[in-house]
Structure 1
Amino acid sequence: MQSDILMFAVNGTNTPSVSMPGRHLSELGMLEVTHLEKWVVDHPEVLGDQVKVVTTQYDKWSSDSGDLARERLDVLGLDSSGQLVVVELKRGADSRIHLQAITYAALVAGFNKETLADAHADYLNRLLAEPVTPAEARQLLEEHVDGTWDDDILTVPKIILLAEDFTAQTYTTVTWLSDLTPNLNIEMHTVNAFVWPESVPAQSCIVFRRLYPVADPTTRVLTPGIAAASADSVATKIAEKKRRIRSTHLLHESNAIPEGAEIELDLHTWINADLAAAVDAWVAEDPARGRATWISHRDRPLRWAAGSNEEESSTPTTLAKRIVLEATNTKVDAIPGADVWRYKGESLAAIAVRIE
């Protein structure tokens, strides 16, 4: 199998490395649904940061003729910005992989939150012993999304093509579409298997990587106000949300905030004034309620000062929502976490912008 990835096995620091030959998934008896899909479901991080699997093998499309019932979407995900992620999987290479994925993206672009909740509930009920209602599934999806989640964000899904290799037709079409339609976000990812040398029984190593585009599209700055079509404004909204979510990643990678630093909550200008005042009054009874400790975690860098030491850390948005709920018994859907938490008087978002 040809690959531009060279894998070597190293057994100890003083022994020579040994080349790990590549093998086709088919040679190793690995299948699309049984193996490749399961790897993605078990490790959705191979699709990007903070992607939640909504459903797999989805085929409940609405059609008067019934023709669409035969179409099965391999994996549908949701990232923390609220953008849908359409994933098409192929063992080997398929010159039509992009055509199928574009069709699925067009179909899911008509989803609303209720449709998505129904799909997620069906998926969870296939996996779990305890039944999950669409309302419970929707709550899980909403908890995954950082900040505001409007239906219009669902109209511009991301497409991820995941295969062992790609034909020249796919490369040509994807790059042409990406240049022609900047709001169409298509990525090509590869999955390759390498055999561990001299192991009995044979052991393999699976490598995932993003092949195209090389640069992370979520770091592109889109200027609001110049978009002519609604898709442009939605793409701008998604890009801005992803930049804000990425703030914690930048702060983690740059070590801009020291471990154990005190982070303070400031909800003013970001939520209703009366609600913010009620939170202030609640925090005044115990100042620890409005503080958090910075820990070295890429996605969940805050540990609530008023919580127990055993509980997991949180994302800035999740913790802010929790504080508002406990203080006022009010559930707030939209809180920009990186903007409401401050270190030495400066918001996390502002610090991240300065670093970037």
Structure 2
Amino acid sequence: MYTLNHEQNRITPIAVKTFSELGFTERKHLQEWLAHQPDALGEELLIIQKEFDGFDDTRERLDLLALDKDGNLVIIENKLDDSGRDVVWQAIKYASYCASLTKLQIVEIFQQYLKRYEPNQEQEATQLIADFLDAPDLDEVKLNLGNSQRLMLVAANFRKEVTSTALWLLGQGISVQCFKVTPYVLGTQLLLNIDQIIPTPEATELMIGINAKEAEEKTTEVVVKSRHNVRLAYWEKALEVFHNSHCSLFNNISPGKDHWLSAGSGVSGCPYNLIFLQKEIRVELWIAKAQGEENTFIFDYLESNKSSIETAFGDELEWLRLEGKKSCRIQYSHQAEGFNKERWSEWIAWHLEHMIRLEQAFKKPLQAAAQSRKTHSLPMGQML
């Protein structure tokens, strides 16, 4: 790594240091850096445990355990200035131990992590995992399928026997990545560079293309297809009932395969949604304009009229401002055996009744909120 002097048209090397020289340790420093910034390893990862020791009949601990965006477990082993000879064998052992972990066990492991390291986290492990995997709930995803466990090895230097073994494992279809971490000193500032050396990013893309068919076979395609067919059938029946009712919201809406069905509310970016899940059904107003501040403005306006809106609806609603996210949501849910076709007429009747009530409760307040957002002439708490 070099500094560039534009005026002199010269480059100057930055001093390379070892972690030992700088007084850094594996567990106290390198491990913590990666636990709090896992995307430094080149992708989105959800850290679910540190120093994991939940292996039967052994006292061994793996450094970091994570989930990737496909629901695969990722075993991250950290070394400092030297990878050592046995790091690959160590990581493989941990992967074999983790291969038998069930979805329930993974959730429990993450919940223990949250309790110990993030006590202020309000959301449960199940919801955080579902959010990370962009799923409506945990029933929609599969975790730790088959031999899908991945290995990430992190060190300042890798011995030849380590890189040779890693390359051989890659050839056998085992997901192994080696990351070289190098500390630098620039004046009083410390810098850290992280390079993926095995496989190179270009080789990774090539391998992904070559193994695409095999990867597809390992996914939950059959499960997803089945769920899609169930949802499509439900929405077909539901829309038939809606079209024969005095609720006109969904008159021009076609059935789909998603767990949701949207209809316009008359305010752009704020649709009404019908939600159909395996264990829950609900109706909701989704506030999802392009700008996050618009969404929070409308949500806050509506919430300031919470009492009158809930009185008009006839029950208490869930007000989800969703801090840190762009959209907001106001919903009413009901526990249901969604995929039990014998009770579909019951769930459809529930959807129809509560969507009618939701629209009636929000129609005027939502228009007033949108107008207030445009003109700022209406005080919060006053409806048209």
TM-score category of the 2 structures, normalised to the smaller one: 0.5 to 0.7
**Contact preservation (8 Å) 2:2, 2:12:** yes
Residue 272 of structure 1 is matched in structure 2 by: 232
> What is the CA deviation profile of residues 96-144 of structure 1, one whole-angstrom value per residue up to 9, with x for unaligned ones?
11111111111111111211111111111222344879xx212211221
Of 181, 192, 195, which aligns to 1:209? Answer: 195
CA, structure 1 residues 190+37, in 2 after alignment: closer, same or farther (shift >3 Å)? Answer: same
CA, structure 1 residues 309+327, in 2 after alignment: closer, same or farther (shift >3 Å)? Answer: farther
Describe the SS at the equivalent of 2:19.
coil
Quick check: 1:50 aligned with 2:44? yes
Of 147, 155, 165, which aligns to 1:163? Answer: 155
TM superposition shift of 1:157: 1.0
CA distance in 1, matches of 2:167, 2:183: 26
Residue 348 of structure 1 is matched in structure 2 by: none
Residue 54 of structure 2 is matched in structure 1 by: 60
> TM-score, normalising length from structure 2?
0.58
TM superposition shift of 1:46: 1.6
Describe the SS at the equivalent of 2:217.
helix
Of 163, 183, 187, which aligns to 1:193? Answer: 183
TM superposition shift of 1:155: 4.1
**Contact preservation (8 Å) 2:50, 2:64:** yes
Residue 65 of structure 2 is matched in structure 1 by: 76
**Contact preservation (8 Å) 1:46, 1:209:** no
CA distance in 1, matches of 2:63, 2:97: 13
**Contact preservation (8 Å) 1:55, 1:75:** yes
> What is the CA deviation profile of residues 129-176 of structure 1, one whole-angstrom value per residue up to 9, with x for unaligned ones?
44879xx21221122113542145264111101111111111111111
Describe the SS at the equivalent of 2:50.
strand
TM superposition shift of 1:90: 0.3
**Contact preservation (8 Å) 1:82, 1:154:** no
TM superposition shift of 1:308: 4.7
CA distance in 2, matches of 1:97, 1:205: 25
CA distance in 2, matches of 1:39, 1:152: 25
Quick check: 1:104 aligned with 2:94? yes
Which AA in structure 1 matches 2:190? S
> What is the CA deviation profile of residues 218-259 of structure 1, one whole-angstrom value per residue up to 9, with x for unaligned ones?
7425354xx6xxx9932xx29x9xxxxxxxxxxxxxxxxxxx
Aligned residues: 260
TM superposition shift of 1:19: 1.3
Residue 149 of structure 1 is matched in structure 2 by: 141
**Contact preservation (8 Å) 1:163, 1:189:** yes
CA distance in 2, matches of 1:84, 1:203: 35
CA distance in 2, matches of 1:51, 1:112: 19
Structure 1 residues without counterparts, runs of 5 or longer: 1-6, 241-267, 292-302, 313-318, 332-356
Quick check: 1:40 aligned with 2:26? no
What is the 5 A alignment of 1:292-331? 304-305=288-289, 308-309=292-293, 326=331
Quick check: 1:283 aligned with 2:266? no
Which AA in structure 2 matches 1:89? N
Which AA in structure 2 matches 1:177? L
CA, structure 1 residues 49+166, in 2 after alignment: closer, same or farther (shift >3 Å)? Answer: same
CA distance in 1, matches of 2:132, 2:109: 16
> What is the CA deviation profile of residues 177-200 of structure 1, one whole-angstrom value per residue up to 9, with x for unaligned ones?
211x22x1111111101111xx2x
CA, structure 1 residues 51+96, in 2 after alignment: closer, same or farther (shift >3 Å)? Answer: same
TM superposition shift of 1:50: 1.5
Residue 247 of structure 1 is matched in structure 2 by: none
CA, structure 1 residues 20+131, in 2 after alignment: closer, same or farther (shift >3 Å)? Answer: closer
CA, structure 1 residues 91+8, in 2 after alignment: closer, same or farther (shift >3 Å)? Answer: same
CA, structure 1 residues 310+91, in 2 after alignment: closer, same or farther (shift >3 Å)? Answer: farther
TM superposition shift of 1:203: 2.6
TM superposition shift of 1:24: 1.0
Identical amino acids, percent of aligned pairs: 23
CA RMSD of aligned residues (A): 3.8
Larger Rg: 2
TM superposition shift of 1:48: 2.8
TM superposition shift of 1:326: 5.0
TM superposition shift of 1:58: 0.6
> What is the CA deviation profile of residues 250-290 of structure 1, one whole-angstrom value per residue up to 9, with x for unaligned ones?
xxxxxxxxxxxxxxxxxx97943434866847514346346
**Contact preservation (8 Å) 1:111, 1:154:** no
Residue 14 of structure 1 is matched in structure 2 by: 7
Structure 2 residues without counterparts, runs of 5 or longer: 222-227, 240-249, 254-260, 273-286, 297-324, 337-384
CA distance in 1, matches of 2:175, 2:43: 15
- Higher relative CO (CA 8 A, sep ≥ 6), structure 1 or 2? 1
Residue 220 of structure 1 is matched in structure 2 by: 209
CA distance in 1, matches of 2:130, 2:28: 29
> TM-score, normalising length from structure 1?
0.62
Of 73, 76, 88, which aligns to 1:87? Answer: 76
CA distance in 2, matches of 1:328, 1:124: 27
**Contact preservation (8 Å) 1:121, 1:132:** no
CA distance in 1, matches of 2:208, 2:230: 24
Residue 20 of structure 2 is matched in structure 1 by: 26
Which AA in structure 2 matches 1:29? G
Residue 299 of structure 1 is matched in structure 2 by: none
TM superposition shift of 1:17: 3.5
